[in-house]
Structure 1
Amino acid sequence: MLYKTRGIALSYIRYRESSIIAKIYTESFGIQTYIVNGVRSPKSKTNKIAFFQPLTLLDLVVYHKSKEDTIHRLSELKCYAPFRSIPFDIIKSSLALFVTEILGKTLREEESNEPLFQFLQEAILYLDHAEVHFENFHIHFLSQLASYLGFGIETVEDLENELRGNNYPQTADMVEQGAVRELLTSGFGSVITLDRGRRLRILEKLIFFYKIHMDGLGEIRSMEVLKEILR
């Protein structure tokens, strides 16, 4: 059957001569994998491969069969909110790469989760539209995403206690604690003053916290890019 749904492009691999296999987080079906035919054909009049760049927001018409089918097919697609800045700003594109890697490793449910989809859409649109004060976006995103994944951080004290209980070697100073407290309670765009060292320490703590709750999270390779880009 054919269904309409919105989706967020995460990644793709080449398949045969002109097709791809794309991983997309959908509003109606959760994380799904689709075969997309003809997007890499030199005869194509449109650059459809651009629709599958990280975090692109898509309107989709998809074929879905039984639960046993792990790969489905796309019938139609279009971008419903073309990016203004993410592909053209090195900091934003690096942040988008990080978010994409995190989502690829943490989104596992093959069912609708509308609040999570709305949160992701809001975060992506904020990053694309923001002109200033988005240097903490990635740690803000991680602190909020955990709630939608089922292991939300209630207070900074709870976070520190759990890290300590799992032998994390560092304890936050007062500035870090205040920053995390604001990250947990504020929306995107709030101004939180952090130097590069503290921002990195908070990021490493949050990644460690995710690893406590999610088996197989593994190395987050895009962190190395962020360490170089964000000052």
Structure 2
Amino acid sequence: MLHKTRGIVFKYFKYRDTSIIAKVFTEEFGLQTYIVNGVRSKSSKGKIALYQPLTLLELVVYYKESADINRISEVKCGSPFQTIPTDIRKTAIAMFVAEVLYKCVKEEGDVHDVFEFIYHSIKILDHLESDYQNFHLQFMLKLSKYLGFGIESSDFLDVFYAEEAQLAKELMDNSYEESAKLNNSSRRKMLDHIIKFFQTNVDSLKEINSIKVLQEVL
């Protein structure tokens, strides 16, 4: 049966010579796995761009609850990016965010709230013109609430000093447009603490490969 849904690409893997396996977080069904045939062939005319991490999609998909892999009937970009692909700092942030999401967000069923949060946050990142160096910090702190272990939990204080905990709360409560001012050293230290906080709550979040690129450009 066919269903319309919005989707957010988390990751894709090459499959055989011209196909991919795409991990897409959908508004209707949570995280789904889709096989997309022929998208890497010479005749696909750049359609692989639709499956870059964090791309926002409008989909018509086949869905069978018992199936591990489903298929996409129709796909188009729901909100084309203006700056994420061309701004090296935003690209690095997007790669990092996509990896965190892929390893942390597994829910199925009613995922409307977390989907809206992620979708809206990605659009803001694309439109921010300045002062977005702390976006990934704010995003992870805000995301933790949707994953069920916000900074009010006791685990949070185990990895933060009191002063850093207050700064983290400020980052979480502020909008992306009014981020706190941090230098590179403070930003990296805060990120280390946030990652440790996530790792105490998410078993699948171990090594984050994209953090090296992120630290090079921020």
Partner Cα distance (2:156, 2:37) in 1: 48
Deviation at 1:159, TM superposition (A): 5.9
Partner Cα distance (1:51, 1:22) in 2: 10
Deviation at 1:202, TM superposition (A): 0.8
Structure whose CA Rg is larger: 1
Residue aligned with 1:39, SS: coil
* 2:187 aligned residue: 199
Alpha carbons 1:63, 1:73 under 8 Å: kept: yes
Partner Cα distance (2:105, 2:166) in 1: 29
Partner Cα distance (1:160, 1:97) in 2: 25
Deviation at 1:225, TM superposition (A): 1.4
* 1:63 aligned residue: 62
1:220 aligns to 2:216 (yes or no): no
Aligned counterparts, 1:125-140, within 5 A: 125-140=123-138
* 2:158 aligned residue: 162
Deviation at 1:177, TM superposition (A): 4.1
Partner Cα distance (2:83, 2:182) in 1: 24
Structure 2 portions without partners, runs of 5+: none
RMSD over equivalenced CA pairs, Å: 1.6
Which string of whole-angstrom CA distances, capped at 9 and with x for unpartnered residues, describes residues 193-215 of structure 1? 11111111110011001111111
Deviation larger for 31-40 or 132-141:
31-40
Q: TM-score, normalised by structure 2?
A: 0.94
Size of the aligned set, in residue pairs, is: 218
Instruction: Name the % identity.
Output: 47
* 1:19 aligned residue: 19
Q: Which runs of 4+ in 1 moved over 3 A?
A: none
Partner Cα distance (1:60, 1:160) in 2: 37
Distance 1:191 1:13, change over 3 A: closer
Deviation at 1:178, TM superposition (A): 4.1
Q: TM-score, normalised by structure 1?
A: 0.89
Which string of whole-angstrom CA distances, capped at 9 and with x for unpartnered residues, describes residues 10-58 of structure 1? 11112223221100000000000001122122123x3210000110000
Distance 1:49 1:209, change over 3 A: same
Structure 1 portions without partners, runs of 5+: 164-169
